[in-house]
Amino acid sequence: MPLHFPGHSKKKEESAQTALTKLNSWFPTTKNPVIISAPMYLIANGTLAAEVSKAGGIGFVAAGFDFRPGSSQLTTLSSELSLARQALGLSDRPLTPLPAIGVGFILTHTISVPHFVDTVLPILIEHSPQAVWLFANDPDFEAAHSSDEGPAAKGTAKQIIEALHAAGFVVFFQVGTVKDARKAVADGADVIVAQGIDAGGHQVAKGSGIVSLVPEMRDMIDREFAGREVVVVAAGGVADGRGVVGALGLGAEGVVLGTRFIVATEAATPEFRRKLILETNDGGLNTVKSQFHDQINSTTIWHNVYDGRAVRGASYDDHAAGLPFEENHKKFKEAASSGDNSRTVTWAGTAVGLVKDQKPAGDIVRELREQAKERIKKIQVFAA
Ligand SMILES: Cc1cc2nc3c(=O)[nH]c(=O)nc-3n(C[C@H](O)[C@H](O)[C@H](O)COP(=O)(O)O)c2cc1C
């Protein structure tokens, strides 16, 4: 397959002599420190991603998990990438590449992943985002197919990454443990997203915060994959410039934020969720990391090595107080059908208490960068 987008080949050329970091050279429109908006399913749309890109960050569109032929998630992805193109003011004849735009996919729907190369790749090639973000493969599926070769290997992380590289995309892989990072790098990932357990949404059930995760992953990669160009970025618990500087201090080359962008003006977030995010404080107390959220949502795509962090709500409180699941689920369904949102799951990270205002995504990116620079100046005193 011919190289479709210069991102990956540019990376190999190491052409951008002036770039301060590998991310700057792979994504020439980025400014430091590089802010990345997370692909958040049903929230991170094409317009949001485009505004992040325009402000010098990297914006990810969330594509979901269903790659079967005819999937409505893939139809939506095409429309969102067209909207991103419009927001960037780029021509659609010919289709020029979308700078610093990526697409995030969830790989736990094991009946979907074998379709990825046939159904997803053509959409990516047509719309030309620069990067692809993969998250959460199913360990049983990977174990069953890791020794397969050729067409039999369809849908393993390694095979998907190889196909993406052949088409010229930079591949991000989000992981929550050093063990999973080792596999993702061995499978070929270019950027490891070190996701700590403060993160909102799905994550490994047994993990650690970015404070230990980022440096241990970096050391492992430097030791075990010497000579490979692998970037590490941090995700989980960052919502302002102080967190950005903290993550850079840990050795991350860029910083991913999800919860902060839930309330970006362009996000597809319903009003009641915006209000809840803005009103919730003290995330350690008022968000909960649990598999209960998927159970009450009747979501079955996640292997039990994963759980998710969400705002603590009435459903979880009843569960914690011992209400039998069937009764709780009945209340959940009744509330949903009567328009009562108090029992629904709102994913958010522990940094939710730092999210106090809604503003355009581009302003969030610029503010984070300025706050980070101010912070770096303030802490210079510690280097004297
Ligand atoms: C509402 C919400 C939806 C998310 N959806 C996805 C998703 O579709 N794919 C994915 O890879 N990660 C998803 N995540 C996790 C993010 O990629 C990221 O790890 C997390 O938001 C970082 O932590 P923070 O929320 O504290 O900034 C989601 C997170 C949130 C809060």
Lowest mean pLDDT among 49-53, 145-149, 187-191, 256-260: 145-149
* Dihedral sign computed on CA atoms, order 298, 145, 191, 85: negative
Q: What percent of the chain has pLDDT over 90?
A: 90
Report the nearest-CA residue for atom 15 of ligand 1: 201
* Residue of 40, 132, 311 best suited for mutating to test ligand 1, as the one with most atoms within 8 Å of CB: 40
Report which ligand 1 atom has the smallest distance to the Cα of 63: 8
pLDDT attached to residue 148: 84
In 3D, which of 266, 191, 270, 200 has the Cα closest to residue 231?
191
Instruction: Give the residue, by CA position, lying nearest to ligand 1 atom 3.
Output: 40
| Mean pLDDT on 58-86 | 97
pLDDT of residue 18: 54
Q: How far is ligand 1, taken at its centre, from the CA of residue 309, in Å?
A: 9
Mean pLDDT (whole number) for 347-351? 98
Q: Work out which ligand 1 atom sits closest to the CA atom of 64.
A: 8
Atom of ligand 1 nearest to the CA of 261: 27
Any atom of ligand 1 within 6 Å of the Cβ of 196: no
Give 295-328 pLDDT, tens digit per residue.
999 999 999 999 999 999 999 999 999 999 999 9
Number of other residues whose CB lies within 10 A of the CB of residue 379: 12
**Residue 154 pLDDT grade (very low, low, confident, very high; cuts 50, 70, 90):** confident
233 lines ligand 1 (CB under 6 A): no
What is the average pLDDT value for the chain, to the nearest integer?
94
The tens digit of pLDDT for each residue in 209-236 reads: 999 999 999 999 999 999 999 999 999 9
Residue 151 has pLDDT above 90, yes or no: no
Mutate which of 112, 347, 354, 368 for ligand 1 pocket (most atoms within 8 A of beta carbon): 347
Task: Check: CB of residue 61 under 8 Å from CB of residue 52.
Answer: no
Q: How far apart are CA 330 and CA 62, in angstroms?
A: 30
Report pLDDT for 16. 37
Rounded CA-CA distance 288/205 in Å is: 12
**Beta carbons of 59 and 48 less than 8 angstroms apart:** yes
pLDDT digits over 366-379, tens only? 999 999 999 999 99
Residue 202 is a catalytic residue: yes
pLDDT tops 70 at residue 83? yes
Which amino acid is located at 60 in the chain?
Answer: F
CB 7 near ligand 1, within 6 Å: no
Listed by start position, the domains of the chain span 6-272+350-383
Q: Is CATH 3.20.20.70 correct for 6-272+350-383? A: yes
For residue 49, report the distance from its CA to the centre of ligand 1, in Å: 14
Closest residue CA from atom 31 of ligand 1: 200
Local confidence band at 118 (pLDDT 50, 70, 90 cut-offs) = very high
Q: Choose the catalytic residue: 8, 115, 202, 319.
A: 202
Between the CA atoms of 72, 73, 74 and 80, what dihedral angle is there, to the nearest 10 degrees?
Answer: 110
* pLDDT tens-place string over residues 2-38: 333 444 444 444 443 456 799 999 999 999 999 999 9
The predicted structure's pLDDT at residue 362: 98
What's the average model confidence in pLDDT over 248-252?
97
- Which atom, in ligand 1's list, is nearest to the CA of 239? 27
Contact yes or no for 155/113 (Cβ under 8 A)? yes
